Chains A and B, each alone.
Chain A
Amino acid sequence: MKFLGFIIVCVTGGLLLYGTGEFPGWGDPNSPASTHLSNYYIEHIIEETQVPNLVTAVLADYRGFDTMFETAVVFCAGLACFLLLRDFRPKKERFYRHSPTGIILHVKNPDKILKTGKEFEYMDKDWVPSDLIIKTVCRILIPFIQIYALYVVAHGDFSPGGGFQGGVIFGSSLILLAISYNLKTLIRRIKEKVLGIYAAVGVLVYVGIAAICMLFGKNFLDYSALIPIVWDPHHVRGLGMLGVEIGVGIAVTAVMAIIYINIVSEGRHDEGL
């Protein structure tokens, strides 16, 4: 099998390398990819959308449908992870830790549930104490990561950034919290239901803004229809893009967290990694 695979790979690679002989040189301004559509985008983007960042403008305006279904794909990935892995079976035994002394209680009767709070905290048998240095450093870092994520989303129209990138950065800050403390801490901050609602709301914001355009009598996703309700009619398309990017960011953040939580704890939502 290994030998056969190697031969297949060599043949495919040889054909592809042979094909590169016909390709345009690297950085050739007259290559076919850079001569037709992209020149139109570059030359007309300011008069048509007033958004300097070409990537955001093409992503959220010219190719708005693509991005909308992309967001739906991300939502479906989160949904698939949830449906494949989520495990609602009640646990047979429980472990509680007495916070002041560190004594661990093992409760074998599944009906007996201790009240958790300041005195007792719920845990499982994979529990390991977190390192103080890691916890402190991450606690300081996380707010800055989140602020930066919001900056990336908000400035997507003018500088490198956008909803996908900002959403991933925000999601990674949540994952950092789950790694440095434990999964329970993250789930206490953001409930599973809230994450699910966020993922759906993100898609809904995108589709909603597109549908509002229809309500004003223009096409689906034609942001110029929003002129009556925005405060800056000159930048109406930029504001419409900002709106959909915020929706994308919310959906991506929530789906990142859902995928991480479900995979690390195999759907049990206990201690995780």
Chain B
Amino acid sequence: MTDLLPLIVAKYNYWLYVILMMIGLYAMIAKNNLIKKLVGMNIFQTAIILFYVSIGYKTEATIPIIQGAHGGHGSHAAIHAADYINPLPHVLMLTAIVVSVATFGVAMALAVRVYQRYQTLEEDELRMRLSEE
């Protein structure tokens, strides 16, 4: 136990994301209501997004916008990569957020259709209705 604590403190960000991701996974597996499953899916995606963004972080670095380059015509000091955080995870997650919104919209539309047809969003009731048909 004494060995574990410094390990958690040094990498507590990863621990938080894993816990958040497992909350989402548990909701997707165990919850009975389709909307709650969707909420679990969103929590899962949020954990992944946070994980990526934290990978891009560097200590003592600033946001990935080059300073002193606005409107100028190339007369600026040399750019050091250590001064700016990694832009690549931000780009990937920007598109991932958009995809998550799109998938969430389509999933909601499907849930609405399921409700229109079976008058329920509970999984066990849905299975019952399906076996009746």
Q: Which of A8, A31, A50 contacts B29 (CB 8 A)?
A: A8
A20 touches B14 (CB 8 A): yes
A78 to B22, CA, bound (A): 30
A58 interface contact, C-beta 8 A? yes
B55 interface contact, C-beta 8 A? yes
A263 to B54, CA, bound (A): 34
Residues of B within 8 A of A74 (CB): 98, 102
Contact size range, A: 35 or more
Stretch at the interface among A114-122, A127-135, A142-150, A155-163: A155-163
Majority-rule SS of A interface residues: helix
Majority-rule SS of B interface residues: helix
**A-B residue pair count with CB separations less than 8 angstroms:** 175
Stretch at the interface among A33-41, A94-102, A200-208, A222-230: A33-41
Residues of B within 8 A of A39 (CB): 81
Shortest Cβ gap from B15 to chain A (Å): 7
Shortest Cβ gap from B29 to chain A (Å): 4
A46 to B63, CA, bound (A): 15
Contact flag A34-B56 (CB < 8 Å), given A42-B84, A85-B109, A263-B112? yes
Q: Which of A8, A25, A42 contacts B87 (CB 8 A)?
A: A42
Beyond A42-B66, A66-B95, A159-B65, list 5 extra A-B contacts (CB 8 Å): A1-B29, A41-B88, A70-B95, A73-B102, A84-B110
A-B contact pairs, 9 of them (CB 8 A): A34-B86, A38-B56, A41-B87, A54-B65, A58-B87, A77-B105, A81-B105, A159-B65, A160-B65
